[in-house]
Structure 1
Amino acid sequence: MFTKAIPSVLTLGNLVIGMVAMFVASHGRYDSAALLVVIGMFLDGLDGRAARLLHAESEFGKQLDSLSDMVTFGVAPSFIMFEVMLRHLGFIGLVLAIWFPMCGAMRLARFNVQTKSSHFFVGLPITAAGGILATMALSRPVLHPAILILPLGMLLLSFLMISNVRYPNFKKVAIPKSSVVLIPVFAIGFFILIKFHYVRVDWLIFGILAIYAVYGMLRGLQYQTARRRQMKSGEDVDSTKYL
């Protein structure tokens, strides 16, 4: 009975992390708040895998996961960005801070009611959008025109969540068992990079997630171009080629 509750405990842990991230950000510790959001991303991936492994999948768990995601990847990253920059933009900053979690809520609602696909997500997942936004907020000291770039980036992420752009669903990708031996190598390499400051964690996570977001947009443009071309010739387009 206890094992069946493990996925829900992980999901609630994700919710707690989102709340703590906001409390930490309110005290000016933006780097710690962003790192908490990133940790929440890993927990969000674990609860689903734990549910499938323990055969504890349920409708309750799915709804709880969505509600937790709304806090950790919708409200918390928006709050961090508001504290870092948007508060200085007046009414426009307030609108942007509200618009992002609104789009996140619509993204989650659409995901919960639409026909599930084993190959792709429709719209940028809120987990990726929240991770990008939280780590992007830390780039303010580096980017001189940040007062323009960051709000525009936040607006783009918001629209990507409610768009029809398709993104690969890596949760359904089968990982060969032989590749397990490489996990310690990657883990050690990652630790060395972080430990000796060869790379910043926030920039590393931001880079990975940003590539994922741009990938979906580029493949979506390729699909639309191919679709228009094929419609003229009367042929069908295989959409799975553009994931």
Structure 2
Amino acid sequence: MRGIAKKDWFTLANAAAGFTALLFARDYPLACALLLAAVFFDWLDGRVARKTRPDEFGKQLDSLADAVSFGAAPAFVVLQNYGGFLAIEMQLLAVAAALFYLSAALVRLARFNLQAEKAFYKGLPTPAAALLLLLLSFLVPSMTAVWLAVCGALMLGDFKINKP
């Protein structure tokens, strides 16, 4: 893996943490800790990228890592932990909501990559959506399908959030 920039190693650590959260999805505290680590690595890669020269490779790699860590992993983790407590009809609804959440995360990431003005986020950023989903599903597990749909909708929202 010669030629990988330092910031890209943080991006790969983000993806590794997200993938490992998928592997340990049934252990909710561990999966959540791994997704918090993914958020930390995502923050680090952004910080390093802003201090160095961001490049197209890094931008694409970051979105791919975010798709795993903040799209697929949180949806799968909450379904594995809270989907089984739901009636069968609600389980099917939760799976549909998880697919919506994942689709929303992918669309959100693609839109961000194409967004010309980078001074703000349009819609809720995927790391924030993932953390919100994990928290709400932990607090009110019977509403997991709703939380998946709400967090997905927030990622697709037309509102702006200024970057720090």
TM over 0.5: yes
How far 1:154 moved relative to its partner? 2.1
RMSD, aligned α-carbons = 1.8
Equivalent pair of 1:86/1:97 in contact (CA under 8 Å): no
- Range with greater deviation from structure 2 (103-112 or 150-159): 150-159
Aligned to 1:11: 11
Q: Secondary structure, in 3 states, of the residue corresponding to 1:115?
A: coil
Equivalent pair of 2:93/2:145 in contact (CA under 8 Å): no
Equivalent pair of 1:21/1:32 in contact (CA under 8 Å): yes
How far 1:13 moved relative to its partner? 0.6
Structure 1 consecutive aligned stretches of length 4 or more whose deviation exceeds 2 Å: 86-90, 134-139
Q: What is the alpha-carbon distance in structure 2 between the residues aligned to residue 49 and residue 3 of structure 1?
A: 20
1:1-243 to structure 2, matched below 5 A, reads: 5-25=5-25, 28-53=26-51, 55-87=52-84, 88=86, 89-118=90-119, 120-139=120-139, 143=140, 146-147=141-142, 149-170=143-164
How far 1:4 moved relative to its partner? 6.4
Tell me the amino acid that sits aligned with residue 35 of structure 2.
V
How far 1:16 moved relative to its partner? 0.5
Deviations 1:194-222 (A, max 9, x none): xxxxxxxxxxxxxxxxxxxxxxxxxxxxx
For structure 2, list consecutive stretches of 5 or more residues without a partner in the other structure.
Answer: none
Equivalent pair of 2:100/2:152 in contact (CA under 8 Å): yes
User: Normalising to structure 2: TM-score of the pair?
Assistant: 0.89
Deviations 1:110-152 (A, max 9, x none): 111122231x21111011101211233332xxx4xx41x3322
Q: Secondary structure, in 3 states, of the residue corresponding to 1:109?
A: helix
Q: What is the alpha-carbon distance in structure 2 between the residues aligned to residue 10 and residue 16 of structure 1?
A: 10
**How many residues are matched?**
159
Q: What is the alpha-carbon distance in structure 2 between the residues aligned to residue 124 and residue 42 of structure 1?
A: 17
Larger Rg: 1
Q: What is the alpha-carbon distance in structure 1 between the residues aligned to residue 161 and residue 101 of structure 2?
A: 19
Q: What is the alpha-carbon distance in structure 2 between the residues aligned to residue 4 and residue 24 of structure 1?
A: 28
Identity %: 32
Q: What is the alpha-carbon distance in structure 1 between the residues aligned to residue 163 and residue 145 of structure 2?
A: 27
